[in-house]
Structure 1
Amino acid sequence: MSSVSTTRVLSQSFGAQEGTALRLKQAALVVVGIAILAICAKIRVPMWPVPITMGTFGVLALGAAYGARLGLVTILGYMVIGMLGFDVFAGSSAETNGIAYMMGGTGGYLVGYVLATAVLGVLAARGWDRSFGWMALALLIGNVVIYVPGLAWLGTLYGWDKPILEWGLTPFLVGDVIKLALAAMLLPTLWKLTGKARG
């Protein structure tokens, strides 16, 4: 495996590459990306000890596929839509949404989503999304970036004397391993398909 620097991510490997057509492609990708994030957030797969939600899968995969700049525009657009009260987060609902929801226990994880999107975009631009091993490492780093502010906010909000790790980390590790494996296979596979399609 190699981490040789590149300047291309998956979203840059197809379609328009300059001018107005590129801007239109990027705008379309942002809209599609926000929709994907909202859909992934609402997918719940039965699993022990807690159901798997696909929100982190969507965030990390999108960050790698879009790159840091386009990924950040997309994830921030997603956050703004959630802030406006739309039911786009895993735990939000018609009754619990908007800024009040975002400032609750999930707030730190949402900050982590933004940071992880940028990190995955940077690593993908270095070619880490081209192979299973490097992509798995990138996703592991991304997961850490999500959990650090998530757990820090839980501790700040509820007190460090509470079982913060039991609330916000350990129940989700089994699901995270499964999602990590899926995303680590997805991006290199898409790159191979793109390569075959081009030639």
Structure 2
Amino acid sequence: MTTTTYPTLSLAVGGGKRGALRSILLALAGSALLWTSAKVQIPFYPVPMTMQTFVVLFLGFVLGPRLGAATVLLYLAEGLVGLPVFAGTPEKGLGLAYMAGPTGGYLVGFVISAYIVGWCAERGFDRRLVPAALSALVGLIVLYVAGLAWLGFVVGWDKPVLAWGLYPFLPGEGLKLALLAATLPLVWRGIVRR
């Protein structure tokens, strides 16, 4: 049984071609975008919001599963070697020490989420509002499951893991999901008209 796949946004904009050099440049640009999104905090209730999860989902949708996940892996490799790419670095530590801390599961979740959302984009789910929103929601659920599982392991399940690692972020994630799901179909319409 064959499954129809569709070009992702990066392929559609690039005329359907993506060589090795273009893929490397896209991955470098994507990792820089992730780095920036980790450092910019937007005042939001109940906790300040970064745009990292938005960028992870965006990279998956735009680059597809393999290049999207590879871009996030590049970002993690940059952090692993000690570059201050993560939120709260260098103040909260660098390298493996930071990655093995309470937020390490979310970092792993970034990779899985980018892959899953990219897979959905290759099936055309990013071209309409509801499928795009559901794809982004699945990506966020996977990301948070990985993050919460690791957080509970590190701090102990007797602690309020959901209160620390999920509930405060739900309003911001809902806003980012809605923005992404509404924007992608508009971009596709613009590309089709072109």
Provide the aligned length of Structure 1 versus Structure 2. Answer: 192
The one-letter amino acid of 1:12's match is L
TM-superposition CA deviations, 1:80-138 (whole Å, max 9, x none): 00111111112222662111001001000001001001000101111110011111101
Give runs of aligned pairs for residues 109-120 of structure 1, distance below 5 A. 109-120=106-117
TM-score by length of 1: 0.91
Match of 1:45 in 2: 42
Deviation at 1:14, TM superposition (A): 2.3
CA distance in structure 2 between the aligned counterparts of 1:15 and 1:148, rounded to whole angstroms: 34
C-alpha contact 2:92 2:98 (8 A) present in aligned 1: no
C-alpha contact 1:7 1:126 (8 A) present in aligned 2: yes
Percent sequence identity over aligned pairs? 46
TM-superposition CA deviations, 1:50-104 (whole Å, max 9, x none): 0111000000111111000111211111110011111111222266211100100
Out of 33, 52, 55, the position equivalent to 1:55 is 52
Deviation at 1:40, TM superposition (A): 1.2
C-alpha contact 2:41 2:48 (8 A) present in aligned 1: yes
What 5-or-longer segments of structure 1 have no aligned partner? Answer: none
What 5-or-longer segments of structure 2 have no aligned partner? Answer: none
The one-letter amino acid of 1:23's match is A
Taking a change above 3 Å as real, the CA distance of residues 94 and 49 of structure 1, as seen in their structure-2 partners, is: closer
Give runs of aligned pairs for residues 40-189 of structure 1, distance below 5 A. 40-93=37-90, 96-189=93-186
C-alpha contact 1:65 1:187 (8 A) present in aligned 2: no
Match of 2:7 in 1: 8
TM-score by length of 2: 0.94
Out of 188, 191, 194, the position equivalent to 1:194 is 191
Out of 8, 30, 34, the position equivalent to 1:33 is 30
Deviation at 1:41, TM superposition (A): 1.4
TM-superposition CA deviations, 1:5-43 (whole Å, max 9, x none): 42311111022545xx72222121111111111111112
CA distance in structure 2 between the aligned counterparts of 1:42 and 1:185, rounded to whole angstroms: 25
TM-superposition CA deviations, 1:147-197 (whole Å, max 9, x none): 111111111111111000001000000000011111112222221222222
Which shifted more, 151-160 or 182-191? 182-191
Counterpart secondary structure, 1:130: coil
CA distance in structure 2 between the aligned counterparts of 1:168 and 1:150, rounded to whole angstroms: 8
Counterpart secondary structure, 2:19: helix
The one-letter amino acid of 1:138's match is S
